[in-house]
Amino acid sequence: MDSTLNSFVKEATENIIEATVGWKIEGSVPIERSIDILENNKTSGINVIINFIGTIKGAIILTCSNNMARNITSLMLGNEQNLSEEDIKDALGELLNMIAGMAKTKYSEKLGNITISVPTTIIGNDYNLYIKHDSSDRLSLIEFEYGDELLVIKIYLEKNSI
Amino acid sequence: MIMKDNISELLNKKEPEGINEYGKPYRVLIVDDSTTMRKIVGQQLKSELYEVCGEASNGVEALQKYRDLNPDIVTLDINMPIANGIEALKAILNYNQHAKVVMLTSEGEKNTVLEALRLGAKGYIVKPPKKSILCERVKIALESN
């Protein structure tokens, strides 16, 4: 697994969340997980996906509960309470866009250029998030705890790019 | 004593940066495909009494709004759908070569930022914008020739 990318994503997430939301949070050590969770992945809440392509290829996925997504959006907008679902989708998309942008810059400076896509955001209850993958592709998780809630960043890498 | 304190307060009071020499607010057009980012930039500028005269979510809309509103300055995101920030910058400068434009970028777009500065952008701000840096860059751009 490309641990350099993992550490850049972890650092970028900590920095961007502190700068935009004001939460000083520390991510867990990246945990390698079975790629199968991209298949059997019944989920609720919000998922934001940004694909990347270049010297490596894959995706960064941000997952959190609807409640946490609402809190993050409110704080990003200066304690705004009157929030629509569109506000939340846009805010979380922009959050991951900034995280991926910062990680991409650091990665590109050291290990070659990568390009990132615009974010795709899914919100709802009890749905399956399926990402087409090969059994030898790799997946890492970084967990960020705030209060009693968890924000998870998944880093998916295609085998040919590892 | 009270008078002395009042004078000291008046001397130390910082003038809001968004007000021009005639006492009117500078008018800003904010261009970004993210409504969240438009709100954040707008809130930060309004707190310094800038007037947000319009918003646009892509490069095509940016040129239309620029023509309609004739703002004093534009904050322009780089990575947008339909027409990106570089295309919008070229179109705005083609319409008004003296237009004052500050680019907004995620860190991953350094080469594009350099291109924007070469084309005539007056500065850039890395996302997420910090109010002090945003206002400083906007002020520098407004004071530039």
Quote the pLDDT of residue A44: 79
Is residue B2 predicted with pLDDT exceeding 60?
no
Quote the pLDDT of residue B99: 96
Decide if B36 and A91 are in contact by the 8 Å CB cutoff. yes
pTM over 0.90: no
Place of tokens 């800003």: B28
Quote the pLDDT of residue A92: 97
At B29-48, the pLDDT tens digits run 999 999 999 999 999 999 99
Q: Which CATH class is domain B22-143?
A: alpha beta
Quote the pLDDT of residue B45: 95
At A72-84, the pLDDT tens digits run 999 999 888 889 9
Average pLDDT, chain A: 87
Higher-confidence residue of A31 and A141: namely A141
Confidence of residue B10 (pLDDT cuts 50, 70, 90): low
Quote the pLDDT of residue A115: 87
**Cα-to-chain-centroid distance, residue B31:** 9
Place of tokens 């998916």: A156
Suggest the residue from A15, A16, A70, A98 to mutate for an interface test with chain B (most B CBs closer than 10 A).
Answer: A98
Confidence of residue A132 (pLDDT cuts 50, 70, 90): confident
| CB-based contact A90:A77 (threshold 8 Å) | no
What domain range is A99 assigned to? 3-161
What CA–CA distance (Å, rounded) separates B111 from A118?
Answer: 18
- Segments making up each domain of chain B, as ranges: 22-143
Decide if B108 and A116 are in contact by the 8 Å CB cutoff. yes
**Mean per-residue pLDDT for B130-143?**
93
* Residue B143: closest CA among B20, B35, B11: B20
What CA–CA distance (Å, rounded) separates B104 from B78?
Answer: 6
The total domain count for chain A is 1
Suggest the residue from B32, B34, B58 to mutate for an interface test with chain A (most A CBs closer than 10 A).
Answer: B34
Is residue A96 predicted with pLDDT exceeding 70?
yes
Nearest to B37 among A94, A101, A108 (CB): A94
**Cα-to-chain-centroid distance, residue A158:** 16
Cβ density class A68-82: b for 16+ within 10 Å, e for less: bbbbbbbbbbeeeee
Q: How many CA atoms lie within 13 A of B82 on its CB side?
A: 13
Confidence of residue A71 (pLDDT cuts 50, 70, 90): very high
**Least confident residue range of A33-47, A56-70, A142-156:** A33-47
ipTM score of complex: 0.83
Is residue A129 predicted with pLDDT exceeding 60?
yes
* Partners of residue B123 on adjacent β-strands: B102
Confidence of residue B56 (pLDDT cuts 50, 70, 90): very high
Quote the pLDDT of residue A130: 77
Confidence of residue B4 (pLDDT cuts 50, 70, 90): low
What CA–CA distance (Å, rounded) separates B42 from B94?
Answer: 26
Cβ count within 10 A of residue A99:
27
Quote the pLDDT of residue B13: 60
A9 reaches B (C-beta below 8 A): no
| CB-based contact B128:A16 (threshold 8 Å) | yes
DSSP string, chain B: -HHHHHHHHHHHPPPPTTB-TTS-BPEEEEE-S-HHHHHHHHHHHHTTT-EEEEEESSHHHHHHHHHHH--SEEEEESS-SSS-HHHHHHHHHHH-TT--EEEEE-GGGHHHHHHHHHHT--EEEESSPPHHHHHHHHHHHHH--
Higher-confidence residue of B111 and A54: namely A54
Is residue A12 predicted with pLDDT exceeding 80?
yes
Is the preceding omega at residue B25 within 30 degrees of 0, hence cis?
no
**Mean per-residue pLDDT for A111-120?**
86
Tokens of A25: 């949070």
What CA–CA distance (Å, rounded) separates A30 from A154?
Answer: 9
| CB-based contact B55:B35 (threshold 8 Å) | no
DSSP alpha helix (H) spans, A21-131: 66-76, 85-111
Is residue A3 predicted with pLDDT exceeding 90?
no
**Mean per-residue pLDDT for A57-76?**
94
